[in-house]
Structure formats: structure tokens, C-alpha cells
Amino acid sequence: MTTPRAVPVTLAEIARLAGVGRAAVSNWRRRHPTFPQRIAGTDVNPQFSMTDIENWLRENKKLKKSVEREWLWPRFEALGGRDETGDAIARTGRLLTSQEDEDSGQLPPGTAELIDRTVALGRREGEAETFAFLLRRWLDVHVRQIATTPEPLAALMAGLALCAATSAGSGSNSVTVMDPACGTGHLLVAGAEAVKAAGGGGPTLLGGDRDPVLAALADARLRLAEREGGRAVIDVRAGDSLRDDPFADDPADIVLCNPPFSERDWGYEELATDSRWSYGLPPRTEPELAWVQHCLARLRPGGAAVLLLPPAVAARKAGRRIRGSLLRTGHLRAVVALPPGCAAPHSVSLHLWLLQTPVPGKEKQAGERLLVADAASRFPRDSTRESAPAPDWASIGAFVREAVEQADSPQLPAYVAQVPVIELLDDEVDLTPGRHISPSPADTVPRLAASWGEFTALTASVDKSAQLLAALDLVAATADTPTATTVAELARAGALTLRGGQQPPEKSIRTSPSSDGDIPFLTVPDLLGTGEPGGWLASDGDSAREAVIVQAGDIVVVGVARKFSAWVHEGPPTALGPQLHAVRVQPEQLDAWFLAGSLRAPANARQAGTHTTSSSRIDVRRLQVRQVPLSEQRRYGEVFRELDSFERVLRRATDLGADLVRDLGDEVAAGRLAGGA
């Protein structure tokens, strides 16, 4: 019997939970009189009780064991908001590690029952796997509220810190790894794995976070990972590490930290006289430099810290005094600029700062050098790609590790330099790697040669297209001009289908793909910016099944005047956001290139606009197209295709030409012309 607190599920959710297509669920509902009745929604979009659906599937032997975990998440999500759900997952993890839950008696009966059921499933199918599934779902839902460090980046940071600490002689017996802003424990997990891989035995893992839910999740995660084969000592506590550090008396060999960015309320007033600020009181606008000094204060002699920081920390005027102090004392050892897309926020080139406290008697003297590495320039974004590719972590990691390991080598890799500290101690103390690295001729010359080769091919293509287009025989309008029809009339006639894009729930949009099946998500703001999809639609949710997705050969129409256009999509399947429309033609009636070229005519947009301003919307159904035979459509379609190619080649040639002018200007200014005096 359905309870008042029944968890509602849609037909699409039932299909995912049952591991079948939506059509199969609709068929069950139609053919089986015992199928549960809807409890909410409408006849078109009904909602059903999840308990009733699960019981029905079980009774009819349609419940697949392989997707049993999927049935847990909707129930956890129905418990409440972010904290309620996260707390229940943390309690589940604690019980899966065989720890007692002292506060279990204070839980609502439904929550306690769900946790017990999940623990029982975890005992059967794997404690760590079950907890990891729930944690991953929770993080996906709250991806815009909770920043996590990607696993490859966390492994790179842990490896750099361990290498530096080991070379200095710190942590030779038992290694202590600390993260003062641990979140859900990504960096601590990476630190433990790095220590074990290096043969260091079971490390001590110290984690703190001011969010008690995150701290509880990190604790459960680490303890479950420890059960898989390790002997780590785990101590994760809730607390604000800057205001009230829970590990003030516990020195560490390694500190890893991805601190919160750009927070103004970090404790500036109450911490003004704190002993940790030995390099200078961090300005109110420089919370990241407070975290830098906090991490240094927690290191034992010879220990190393690696922090992930926004690029502004290396150059902001307010922090130059502290940066100068870090350089003079030799505690800042390296700054590495990562390519955009390595971690949130994905649009900027984040920096890694490697810091180290000296071993007594081996203090680094002022006047030595700072290692800078520019991975952002070494691995530039490919402007020819339709969507931003995932970072090449194998290449990025190899480059960064080689740069740090060969810091004392007389021959450094390209895009790496040792900058004398005295040159950095000016009025700016700008530590941005790209400002101090000039690509070597050995690296620049092949890149310029490749660019010139591409530019030559582009100009040849432009010339070919220009000759073809210039040779078109255009005639004056005649009295027997073919009549025009509209998109709406063509849709009614079955010659095409028109679908409007939609905004999926925020929880289903990700800033980077988390699985191979995630779908690029294109919006009007993306077109106004980079022109490329700026997000990814999760492939494992209902939103992906209900999204408007264009395939190769479909037409995309922009429904706003300020960016009005229409084109034949040739890239990977892409989900469309609001004010974007997908048109799929019947090829025996319409030529896609002819239709796209006809729709995108500026005059067409003016007639179909709601008003005359650039912010007006375009009623796509009112866009017009001439009625001509299919053979004539194909003839015009070839011209429209050539125009599209001409436009794309011109755009690429313009971008590449600007790059060539910049790079050649640098080389000539540096006096690298052969045969000079």
C-alpha cells in the first residue's frame, strides 16, 4: 500500500531503474492491469510510488539484480536536501566499516530503515563499492556546490609532495599526510596510495573540514579504502582549520590542499596576530595566501606541501609582500601552470605551488632560483576541436614530474625554467610561469613550420572556394519566383520534425565529463562565448533520455536574434539548451543543406522575429523556405555547403594568422633571424 511519504518516480526513472527502455515500461503499464496506479503527475507525465513499482517488478520477475543499487539512490535523494542526504550516506559508510552509529536512535524510522537496507546490500555486493556508488551520485547532484580534485590531479599532487619530502629525508619511517580542507577525501586517498606505492607502509592520514557532512563522508571513505588492504591511521575531524585548527599540534610530512577560492570571510579580523603569519599578515582579499602559510606551519622540517591555487594568487598586487618573503626564505620551490580544464573552475589555468620547509643546516639561501613550469603553453587547447577534450593526464603528469625531478639539471625541458629569485623581487613579484618562460627555438621552429603548413593549406582552400563562389551566375528576380512555405507547414506535412531544446535539472549538468557516455551540452551563452559546448549532460540520468539531442545531419537553429544562425550539425551527438532548436528532415522530401542555408538568411530572421531588437526571439516555425523540386534543392544545397566551408576556413585562417603574427613577432624581437650580425 502506498504510504504518504512514497518516493515518486517517472516512467523514465522506472526504465533506468529496471534496466530497460522507456517503451518497455509503457508497454507494461498498458498490458498489465496490476501495474501500479499513478500517485502524482499527469496522464502524459505520470509519477508512481517507488515502493509499489519495486514490488510489482519483483512479483513479475522483472527486477534485475545487476541494477539493485540503482534503487537506493532515489530513496536517499528523497530524504531531504544536501546535508540530510550526505549525512545518511556517511552514516551508511560508518556502519559498513563496522563502526557503531551512536546517534542512530535520533533518525526518522524511514531513514534508519533505508540505511539498514543499504548496509545489508553492501555486505552482499561489496562495502566499498556500495558506498562509492552513493558518494558519486551525491557529488554529481551537488557538483556546483562541492569542488573535488580529479583523481589524476590528486595523484600528481601527492607524488610531487612525497618526492620532495623523501629527497629531503622527511618521513623515512612513518609518513603523515594532512589535508586541512579535505572535502570528501580525494587528496588523502591519493596521498595514502602514493605512500603505499613507494613502500612507505601504512601512513597516518589527518583530515579536517569545516563542513561536518564532508568530514564524515571523508572519514567513511578512507576507512572503507583502508579495509581493502592497508594499515593507515585515520583521523578526520570537523573544524575550521584557519580559525580553530583541529591538528594544531600534529606536524605532517606531506600537506596536500585544494583550498576554497576567493573567500572574504576567512577570519581576517580574529586571526590578525596569529603566529602562522610569519611571512606577513594575509590581506583580506588573499585567503589563499592564508592557506599557504597554514600548510607551511603544519610541516615538520623537510616536509613538503602542494596546493592547487587560482592563477591570480601568483600576481595580485595585494599579495606581493608575502610572495617575496616565501621566495627569500626559499620555502616556495616551484610554481606550475596547468592547462585549463584540469579542475574546477575549468575555464582557467590553475597553478600548483610546491612548498618545503628546510632541514636544519640545509636552509636554502636567498638569491637561489624558483622553478617555473608552463604546462598550459606546453599543452595548448586545440581550437579546431568542437568541444574541449579531457586533459591528457599521462602527458601532463609526465611533464610536471620531469620538470620537478630535473630541477637541478643544467638542461631543463622546454617550457621549464629556473628563475633567479633576485629577478622576481621587483615591484610586482609576479610568479606566473608564462611570464618567465620563452619557448626555445628547438620547440618553436617545428611548431611554426606546422602552423605555416596548415595556413598554406587553408589559403589554398579559401582560394578554391572563392573561385567557385565567384563564378556563380546570379540572375535578377523573376515574376515566377517559387512560392514560400514555413517550417510549421513543413512539419505538419511530415517533411521535417522540429524540437525545442530545454534546460535540464542543474544536478544533471557537469563542467567536465565524468564518463565516456556524457553528452556535450550547448546553450546560447556558449554560442555568445567560445562557440563550443560549455557543459556536459550526465548520461546516466533521466535528463539524458528526455533531452533534445542532435545527431550528425540534423539542423540546429538558434532562436534568438543576437546569435541567429542555422547549420547542419556534423559533430558528435549534442544536447541542446533553451532557445536552440533541432530540425530533422525527411531526405526524400528536403535537402538538409538547402533548408539550413535558406533558414539562416538574415532577411528570414527579421520576418520571423518577435520585435526588432537584438534580444528578440525568433519564432522558428515562421521561418520561410522556397518550395522547389528536390533536385533543385540539392543544387542549391551544394552551394550552401560550400559557403559554410568557406566561412569556417576563413575563421580558422584568421585565428591561425593571429597566432603566427604573435609567435613570429616574439622570435624576430628576440633576434633569431639567421645571418644577423
CA dihedral over 426, 430, 431, 435, signed as positive or negative? negative
Tell me the whole-structure pTM to 2 decimals. Answer: 0.71
Asked whether 185 and 90 are in contact (CB, 8 A), the reply is no
| List of the chain residues with pLDDT < 70 | 1-5, 44, 64-68, 100-105, 168-173, 228-230, 361-367, 382-389, 439-443, 476-481, 506-507, 511-516, 529-530, 540-544, 608-616, 675-677
pLDDT of amino acid 178: 97
Taking the C-alpha atoms of residue 472 and residue 89, their distance in angstroms, rounded to an integer, is 67
pLDDT of amino acid 1: 35
Asked whether 580 and 557 are in contact (CB, 8 A), the reply is yes
Give the 3-state secondary structure of 223-272. Answer: HHHHHCCCCCEEEEEECCCCCCCCCCCCCEEEEEECCCCCCCCCCCCCCC
Q: Residue 254: phi, psi to the nearest 5?
A: -135, 135
- For residue range 314-342, what is the model confidence (pLDDT) as tens digits? 999 999 999 999 999 999 999 999 999 89
Q: Where are the beta strands (DSSP E) in 381-461?
A: 416-420
Taking the C-alpha atoms of residue 275 and residue 451, their distance in angstroms, rounded to an integer, is 54
SS3 content of the chain, % helix, strand, coil (to 5): 45, 15, 40
C-alpha cell at 104: 542512530
pLDDT of amino acid 608: 67
CA dihedral 359, 360, 365, 368 (to 10 degrees): -10
Taking the C-alpha atoms of residue 119 and residue 116, their distance in angstroms, rounded to an integer, is 5
Q: Whose CA is closest to 502, among 558, 536, 550, 548?
A: 548
- For residue range 98-147, what is the model confidence (pLDDT) as tens digits? 776 656 557 787 888 889 889 998 888 888 889 998 998 888 778 778 88
pLDDT of amino acid 604: 81
Total number of residues shown for the chain: 677
